[in-house]
Chain A
Amino acid sequence: MSEVPMSEVPSSEVPLGGTALRGVRCRACGRTAYPAQEFGCERCGAYGPELEPVELSGHGTVLALLTVHEHPDPAVPTPATVAAVQLDEGPVLRARVDGVPAAGAAVTAVPGESVPVFRPRSGRDAR
């Protein structure tokens, strides 16, 4: 177990994202990014009030998903299913998924216990 390289920062110390997907749109270059922040735009460097907080749709497409069999933090229950999701607005993020059959599925973010969980989008489970 300890042989496998893993972050040793326990998940309890990880800042939580809340249940809404709050992103940011750069007024200077138009880039939409996740998460919301005022530090500066990763494309053009504009910062502070130039970065407009936006509520992201939460809609996206699963690029990949897998089962986590082992995790270094005993507080993280396994097995867990995690996916890379590309949001319709462009950003890619990794999050827990629930009931998603395979990559390519259309998903939407729903409130989880502390962070969002992605579920299949009703009526269009796959693209």
Chain B
Amino acid sequence: MTSRRLRDLRPVYVIGVGLHRYQRRSDTSFVELGLTAVRRALADAGLEWTSVEAAYTATTRLGMAVSRPMLRHLGATGIPMTQVENASASGSSAFRLACRDVAAGFADVVLAAGVDKVGKVARAEHLTGLPRPDAGLVVPPVHYGLLAEEYLRARGGTAEDLARVAVKNHGNGAANPYAQRQKARTLEEVLADRPIAGMLTRLQCCPVGEGAAAALVVSGEAVERLGLDAGRAVRVLSSAQRSEELYGAKSFDAELTRTTTAQAVAEAGVTAADIDVVELHDAFTIEELQYVEAMGLCGDGEGPGRLADGEFAVGGRVAVSPSGGLLAMGHPVGPTGVGQIAEITAQLRGEAGARQQPGARLGLAHLVGVGAVCAVHVLAAPGA
């Protein structure tokens, strides 16, 4: 049997988005972070909390049962609440579940939220009991640093090729009031910053702080019944999620991105060349170069050249990480995937202000979760 695509079911729309600024560790309760984002999303949508029929909350470091201690302060309505964890892709998966609920007709109005604080995290992969020959040396910046060395060596690239990703994304973050890092950086600053692993300097590694994001997903029936603004409703064309396969010596992050993006784009009925605005998993600069190629936004090995030509800047052929991406907007983990949807929604509504990609009609959001999973969504502008 062929599985159904999102588009084979009834249309799904993002009708409201909200963020709490991503920031360094603070004394602010996760309840305050989360409620700020959810209330902003409700206001943005013109919806009352009593209209929300289900909630998915993405989180990775707050422990069990996050939804209720936060959402109870909106009034007890008895709706189903579920926590979602998929590492960096947690928020993307929460959004995907909300979309599937609405598409299938289980609900007309669903909340996808993400909230996180800085805290300890345990990774199951380290608890398998199997030996690790690196003895714990290979933390994420080392993993991606090794990929950077391999990528640049194979293509004759330079440290500047990597650093230009950070320059672009820090520049975008400087125009985003919700970004953790809001300071434009020069190529020299990025290159001369403190080295972390190999060529990766601190400004080429995302900050992991705290924050919250929320998106309200609705059916077309809900838009009519509740008198919502169809002119600001962003349609979700596709939702793809895959897990890692065996790729030999190839980068699993890039290969998993390749297959998942191909599926999402095909199910949306578009091609990679049609996409106007992309939010991707740029936790480390090397990732953006790998992923723009794996997604087919440019040819293999063309990433550094196209980036240097301005093709991925706001105003370029396709804006990549206009929010500042994980590198500048930040990566509080639970909220990150929902925050991408907030940015794409703002872009497709033409409400992104100084970060606005002119004429953006199609957007794509992509995250990988510790190499194990990948989630990609394609969204379309109102009336597109």
Contact check, A94 vs B138: say whether CB atoms are below 8 A apart: yes
Contact check, B197 vs A8: say whether CB atoms are below 8 A apart: no
A2 to B202, CA, bound (A): 11
Q: How large is the interface on A (under 10, 10 to 19, 20 to 34, 35 or more residues)?
A: 35 or more
Dominant secondary structure at the A interface: loop
Binds B, one of A11-19, A47-55, A119-127: A11-19
Q: For the complex, is A110 an interface residue (Cβ under 8 Å from B)?
A: no
Contact check, B149 vs A115: say whether CB atoms are below 8 A apart: no
Q: For the complex, is A103 an interface residue (Cβ under 8 Å from B)?
A: yes
Q: How large is the interface on B (under 10, 10 to 19, 20 to 34, 35 or more residues)?
A: 35 or more
A95 proximity list for chain B (CB < 8 A): 133-134
Given contacts A42-B246, A66-B145, contact A96 B134 (CB under 8 A): yes
A115 to B130, CA, bound (A): 13
- CB proximity of A78 to chain B, nearest CB, Å: 9
Contact check, B131 vs A63: say whether CB atoms are below 8 A apart: no
Q: For the complex, is B1 an interface residue (Cβ under 8 Å from A)?
A: no
- CB proximity of A116 to chain B, nearest CB, Å: 6
Within 8 A of B (CB), among A36-95: 37, 42-43, 63-73, 76, 80, 82-84, 86, 90, 92-95
A42 to B149, CA, bound (A): 27
Q: For the complex, is B139 an interface residue (Cβ under 8 Å from A)?
A: yes
Contact check, B121 vs A76: say whether CB atoms are below 8 A apart: no
From the candidates A10, A69, A80, A116, name the one contacting B137 in the complex (CB within 8 A).
A80
A10 proximity list for chain B (CB < 8 A): 136
Contact check, B133 vs A94: say whether CB atoms are below 8 A apart: yes
Contact check, A116 vs B133: say whether CB atoms are below 8 A apart: yes
A92 proximity list for chain B (CB < 8 A): 248-249
B225 proximity list for chain A (CB < 8 A): none
Find the A residue at minimum CB distance from B118. A2
